[in-house]
Amino acid sequence: MTAIIKQEAGSSLLPGGSSSESLRERRSRRLRRRRLISDLLVTTLWASAAAAAALYLASGGMADWGTAGGVVTGLGILTGLIGSDFVLVMLVLVARIPALDAAIGHDRAIALHRRLGKPALYLLLAHAVLLLLGYAMTAGIDIGAQWAQLWAMPDMPLAFIAVGLLVLVVVTSLVVVRRKLPYEFWYGVHLLTYVAVLTALPHQLSVGGVLAEGTVQRAYWIALYIVAIGAIVAFRIIEPAVQSLRHQLRVERVEWIAPDVASLYLRGRQLRELGARGGQYFFWRFWTCSTWWHAHPISLSAAPTDDQVRITVRVLGHGTRRITSVPSGTRVSFSGPFGLFTDAARTAPRLAIVAAGIGVTPVRALLETGDIAPGEATVLLRSSSADSVFLRDEMRALTARRGARLFLSLGRRGGHDDWLAGADRARGASLRSVFPHLLASDLYICGPERWVGAVAAEARAAGLPDEQIHAERFDW
């Protein structure tokens, strides 16, 4: 093993065993609780869409389906209702609701949000096309004339604008497009989702009789809008504002630890009350002229004290460069903590930790605060060179103190989709060789999205179940 991947000097493996029976029981209970909440969430998501369709059909929605035009129009209404429901569900998923984060983690909520994006857009596009066609067939006029009639109706121009905004949001969310955009531009575009939802609402309430006043459907949809928009206002605006005012965070100092990496020390008050655990992250907003308008998700790189927190930022674009240049005394607002990249998500007696580049930051905080017995943890840091192993001295000291083994895999990757250094892979290294107790471990992975996916794929191929894989991706 040590001949394949370099083991850091100073790391030790102290005697230790598996977790106690009571600890295993607690972890098992937490896992069962998260599974139950996750299942309830998925059931609720699908039930909301089913309820939207069922209420329409139960209220006589099929009464006009006796003609071809009526059938096309009815299908258009159904696709619109389900698509609108998906959009509202997407808003709930990105509302940063603490209970949702504790159950499935904000990252998984965002992943589900992204998966719903395309189906929601396709349904809403089908809604527009089918209604246009259905109305034209029923009225016996051509598509152009029907379009002109719809455009002249109250609130309909707003509906067309809403669809156009959603098209823009979904297109900029595509991986091939997102990777070419600065985070700040992408963030600004995605704020248009809220504009799209609000501009679509008037035509739902004023056009046609589906959501007529006094109907159960109207009450149901108003309730959905209240829940979705209320969650956004409560957890993305009010709660962060209250927390920020209470804890009074300001930048104390900025320390450069590498040419493109800086640690920001933030000073505040009563910070332990945040309940942040090592491995979690916050959305940080720095109030300077060039940074106030967007918030960045950045992990803690050290356990918070009562009056100080530390984050470590790698310069990857204009936004992160501006963050590392903020002056001392800059006021900081925040939202969080978020994420299940903590020992609270553990299910197994051992820990296998793999991080790349700046992904070392939550790993360092996890090791510092986690309930880890000597001999339980093995850490592998992946980097292109020894100089780009950030926080290396801290990791060496911390793993030695916690009785964990620390390995480095340095050099160019073996292939575009590989995650190990090519030289290590050529000598036979693999996830199983680095972590011989992999199947009895929780695997924590932190790094770029594609790299994380490669590590997770090898773990699954080795037989590790998804519930033992915990990933933190440094992408947006």
Choose the final residue of a domain: 283, 312, 338.
Answer: 338
The predicted structure's pLDDT at residue 235: 93
Task: Based on the fold, state whether residues 51 and 156 are members of the same structural domain.
Answer: yes
Task: Based on the fold, state whether residues 110 and 188 are members of the same structural domain.
Answer: yes
Task: Based on the fold, state whether residues 113 and 179 are members of the same structural domain.
Answer: yes
Query: CA 442, CA 458: separation in Å to the nearest integer?
Result: 14
Q: Is residue 260 part of a domain?
A: yes
Residue 259: C-alpha distances to residues 191, 316, 360 (Å): 33, 12, 17
Give the pair of three-digit tokens for residue 152: 């002249």
One pLDDT digit (tens) per residue for the chain, 476 residues: 333 465 654 443 333 334 455 766 776 777 777 778 778 888 888 898 899 888 888 877 777 787 888 899 889 889 988 988 888 888 898 888 888 887 777 777 887 888 888 888 889 889 888 988 988 888 888 888 888 887 777 777 777 777 777 777 777 766 555 666 666 666 666 676 767 777 776 666 556 555 556 678 888 888 888 999 999 999 999 999 999 999 999 999 999 988 889 999 999 999 999 988 888 899 999 999 988 888 888 999 988 899 999 999 988 878 888 999 999 999 999 998 998 888 878 888 899 999 998 888 998 988 888 888 888 999 999 988 888 888 888 999 999 999 999 999 998 887 777 898 888 888 888 899 999 999 999 999 998 888 998 999 999 999 999 888 988 765 54
The predicted structure's pLDDT at residue 13: 34
CB 358 within 8 A of CB 297: no
Give the pair of three-digit tokens for residue 131: 């209604």
Query: CA 279, CA 425: separation in Å to the nearest integer?
Result: 28
| Residues 6+ away with beta carbon under 8 Å from 288 | 322, 326, 327, 330
Task: Based on the fold, state whether residues 49 and 190 are members of the same structural domain.
Answer: yes
Residue type, 22: S
The predicted structure's pLDDT at residue 125: 87
Q: Say if pTM beats, i.e. exceeds, 0.85.
A: no
Helical pair 183-190 and 156-173, crossing angle rounded to 10 deg: 150
The predicted structure's pLDDT at residue 187: 67
Q: Is residue 273 part of a domain?
A: yes
**What is the total count of domains within the chain?**
3
The predicted structure's pLDDT at residue 18: 40
The predicted structure's pLDDT at residue 329: 95
Residue 424: C-alpha distances to residues 5, 392, 407, 437 (Å): 6, 20, 12, 19
Query: If phi over 0 gives left and psi between -120 and 50 gives alpha, with beta otherwise, what is residue 435?
Result: beta
Task: Based on the fold, state whether residues 69 and 179 are members of the same structural domain.
Answer: yes
Q: Tokens 């396709």 label which residue?
A: 122
Task: Based on the fold, state whether residues 147 and 192 are members of the same structural domain.
Answer: yes
Residue type, 272: R
**Residue 457's domain is classified under what CATH number?**
3.40.50.80
The closest of 114, 96, 103 to 44, measured between CA atoms, is 103
Choose the final residue of a domain: 242, 268, 303.
Answer: 242
Task: Based on the fold, state whether residues 185 and 50 are members of the same structural domain.
Answer: yes
How far out from the chain centre does Cα 333 lie? Answer: 20
Task: Based on the fold, state whether residues 61 and 193 are members of the same structural domain.
Answer: yes
Q: Is residue 97 part of a domain?
A: yes
Q: Is residue 115 part of a domain?
A: yes
The predicted structure's pLDDT at residue 341: 84
**Residue 334's domain is classified under what CATH number?**
2.40.30.10
Q: Is residue 277 part of a domain?
A: yes
Task: Based on the fold, state whether residues 377 and 431 are members of the same structural domain.
Answer: yes
Task: Based on the fold, state whether residues 469 and 381 are members of the same structural domain.
Answer: yes
| Residues 6+ away with beta carbon under 8 Å from 425 | 414, 418
Task: Based on the fold, state whether residues 228 and 330 are members of the same structural domain.
Answer: no
Task: Based on the fold, state whether residues 333 and 346 are members of the same structural domain.
Answer: no
Q: Is residue 1 part of a domain?
A: no
Q: Which domain holds residue 148?
A: 30-242
Query: Beta-carbon neighbour count of residue 276 at 10 Å?
Result: 22
Choose the final residue of a domain: 182, 208, 242.
Answer: 242
